[in-house]
A and B are shown apart, each in its own frame.
Chain A
Amino acid sequence: MLAPASVAHAASPPLRVVASFSVLADMVREVGGASVEVTSLVGPNADAHLFSPTPADARRVAGADLVVINGLHFEGWIERLIRASGYAGPVVVASQGITPRLAGLALDPHAWQSLAHAKRYVENIRAALGAAAPLQRQVFDARAADYLQRIAALELDTIARIGQLPAQRRRVITAHDAFGYFAAAYGLEFVAPRAGSTDNEPSAEALARLIREARAKRAGALLLENTGDPRLIERIAREAGIGVGGALYSDALSPPGTVADTYLRMFAHNVRTLVEALSTLQPSSKEAQ
């Protein structure tokens, strides 16, 4: 009874948290610090749309104290995995409480591409960690407050940097439509040959439309993503006679030690890449063929 609280948690084992993909795992790590042990089901540079779980994944879920998912139908496989693993603990939906946008007829799950929504994610994770390990609530609260401050700082920086771009240079072509929230939050426009999920095959009409726009210089930049097939974007680049401006990270972080290995570094990298590609004139050295 007289033992200080800190002794109690020093002795308690770390909270085992399973996150569905790398962005969430990073957020949990930021909020939880040393008192949580996080694993991500879908690893860096991997595509959560196309993930297929293994028995080892089911075992990890079964042994978890807390499962964190994005929701908005991003991880179509997660419900079956949780049911199959026999896990009965809490499941946190990190996107709970945001106003989802629609991509076509379906919900757009890529809400972490807006820093305002990321704050909501962090709040949800903080509350869930606190509920799972009440003794360490103060630690989580302090870490979350610090993290939220850093997110807010990046948000201000992002708004300022993108705000400098002229109104006619705000259109970007990417491989799949994962930046809807980003576009809405910071006033850019993204167009893609295949809509939403990566497993749709593009149509000739959509590709033709993008090439026309790129030729007319209405699209300012052409960017790759870390989880997609580069050939389609390269085709558009050659045909419209513009260069490819670099790679964005949409649905996954990059491996540890590289440019986009945390959520904040990923976001800052994307903003940097976008602003750079949109503010320099595209080289039109290659003739349209």
Chain B
Amino acid sequence: MTLYALLVQPFVEFGFMRRALVATLALGLSCGPMGTLLVLRRMSLAGDAIAHALLPGAALAFVAFGFSLWAMSLGGFLAAMLVAGLAGLVARLTPQREDASFAAFYMIALAAGVMIVSLRGSSVDLMHVLFGSILAVDDASLLLVAGIASVSLLVLAAIYRPLVVECFDPGFLRSVGRTGPWMHGIFLVLLVLNLVGGFQALGTLMAVGLLMLPAAAARFWASEVWSLAAVASLFALLSGACGLLLSYHANLPSGPAIVLWAGGMYTASLLVGRRDSLLARWLAHRWHGSV
């Protein structure tokens, strides 16, 4: 098999491969910085919780309006914002920490979602209707994903400085102005938007995978926020392209193939990355030991 047949020909021959590639590229571009900031803000698991909170909103919209991309995306967005907002509110108004209130509201949302799905009478293949397949991305989903990525990157660029400052020193922002909570709110809106885009294209589980794994892997290669985000985006793009090619050549399901590539990159980074990886630590230890 030539290199052309291995890497290029699938995308030249098939429109669905090009669409899937563009969708993962768009997702990867915004998932890099979003994931990095999530890790910095110690909200890695909140991403997962919010992703599951989309379910009841999307299911409710499906029950009310049938199979409509826009209704389901909007429903998912509103439900996830409600969960994120309530969790944040509880953390602010009571001594309960945000992770605990996130976990509580996320379980409520998940149970409500499963309930709504079953009220519909387990009819059609609701899980497949709710969670798109990357191979069946249509024009509307592609526009949605690309639009969300563009908005996310623009907004992130605008609020980059206060957002990063808040990651490291929430007290500082609070002392110089009252923008801290606003930054957090805007960031949450962006996060939910990205998850809505990801779940339309990849399904919730896969969307979180592309958000978190590249960002977690980037930590072993870069140290500044901007370089972390760039490396994370690069890893996300590579996982998208390699995962699709693997799915194409080896006849494997594409969603898991993409996320497993990202997982493989994380594992490799963990073992042999430039910074703080097991190999780097072992080398440093031996160096210090011998001196």
Are A and B subunits of one complex?
A: yes
Q: Which residues of B approach A to under 8 Å, CB–CB? A: 10, 13-17, 20, 67, 118, 121-129, 132-133, 135-138, 244, 247-257
Bound Cα distance A230, B121 (Å): 19
User: Would you call A114 an interface residue if the criterion is a C-beta within 8 Å of the partner chain's C-beta atoms?
Assistant: no
* Given A46-B123, A52-B122; 6 other pairs, CB 8 A cutoff: A46-B124, A201-B256, A205-B251, A208-B248, A229-B136, A239-B15
| Residue contact A198 to B136, C-beta cutoff 8 Å | no
Q: Interface readout for A169-197 with B: 1 if CB under 8 Å, 0 if not?
A: 00000000000000000000000010000
| Residue contact B17 to A208, C-beta cutoff 8 Å | yes
| Residue contact A231 to B247, C-beta cutoff 8 Å | no
| Residue contact A208 to B13, C-beta cutoff 8 Å | yes
Contacts A54-B118, A228-B124; A211 near B133 (Cβ below 8 A): no
Q: How far is the CB of B180 from chain A (nearest CB, A)?
A: 42
Interface of B: prevailing SS: helix
Residues of A within 8 A of B13 (CB): 208
| Residue contact A207 to B135, C-beta cutoff 8 Å | yes
Bound Cα distance A230, B124 (Å): 11
The 5 A-B residue pairs with the shortest CB-CB distance, nearest first, are A201-B253, A231-B136, A205-B251, A204-B248, A204-B247
- Of the residues A43, A198, A232, A289, contact of B135 by C-beta under 8 Å: A232
Bound Cα distance A19, B14 (Å): 44
Q: Which residues of A approach B to under 8 Å, CB–CB? A: 42-43, 45-47, 50-52, 54, 193, 198-208, 211, 226-232, 234-235, 238-239, 288-289
Residues of A within 8 A of B121 (CB): 43, 46
Bound Cα distance A211, B133 (Å): 17
Bound Cα distance A203, B254 (Å): 6
Bound Cα distance A229, B254 (Å): 17
Residues of B within 8 A of A205 (CB): 247-252
Q: How far is the CB of B160 from chain A (nearest CB, A)?
A: 36
Bound Cα distance A44, B137 (Å): 28
Residues of A within 8 A of B254 (CB): 201-204
Residues of B within 8 A of A235 (CB): 16, 135-138
Bound Cα distance A206, B122 (Å): 27
- Of the residues B122, B133, B255, contact of A231 by C-beta under 8 Å: B133
* Residue in A46, A226, A229 whose Cβ sees the most chain B Cβ within 10 Å: A229
| Residue contact A227 to B249, C-beta cutoff 8 Å | no
| Residue contact B253 to A200, C-beta cutoff 8 Å | yes
Bound Cα distance A89, B126 (Å): 33
Q: How far is the CB of A283 from chain B (nearest CB, A)?
A: 19
* Residue in A46, A54, A199 whose Cβ sees the most chain B Cβ within 10 Å: A46
Residues of B within 8 A of A206 (CB): 251
Instruction: Pick 8 A–B contacts, CB within 8 A, sort by A.
Output: A50-B127, A198-B128, A204-B248, A205-B248, A207-B14, A208-B248, A227-B125, A231-B136
Bound Cα distance A205, B247 (Å): 6
By beta carbon, the residue of chain B nearest A236 is B16
- Of the residues A199, A211, A226, A231, contact of B132 by C-beta under 8 Å: A231
| Residue contact B15 to A229, C-beta cutoff 8 Å | no
Bound Cα distance A47, B124 (Å): 6
Q: How far is the CB of A271 from chain B (nearest CB, A)?
A: 23
Contacts A201-B256, A231-B136, A232-B133; A207 near B122 (Cβ below 8 A): no
Bound Cα distance A55, B9 (Å): 53
| Residue contact B247 to A203, C-beta cutoff 8 Å | yes
By beta carbon, the residue of chain A nearest B138 is A231
By beta carbon, the residue of chain A nearest B245 is A204
Residues of B within 8 A of A200 (CB): 253
By beta carbon, the residue of chain B nearest A228 is B125
By beta carbon, the residue of chain A nearest B123 is A46
Residues of A within 8 A of B135 (CB): 193, 202, 204, 207, 232, 235
Residues of B within 8 A of A227 (CB): 123-125
Contacts A203-B251, A204-B254, A206-B251; A211 near B123 (Cβ below 8 A): no
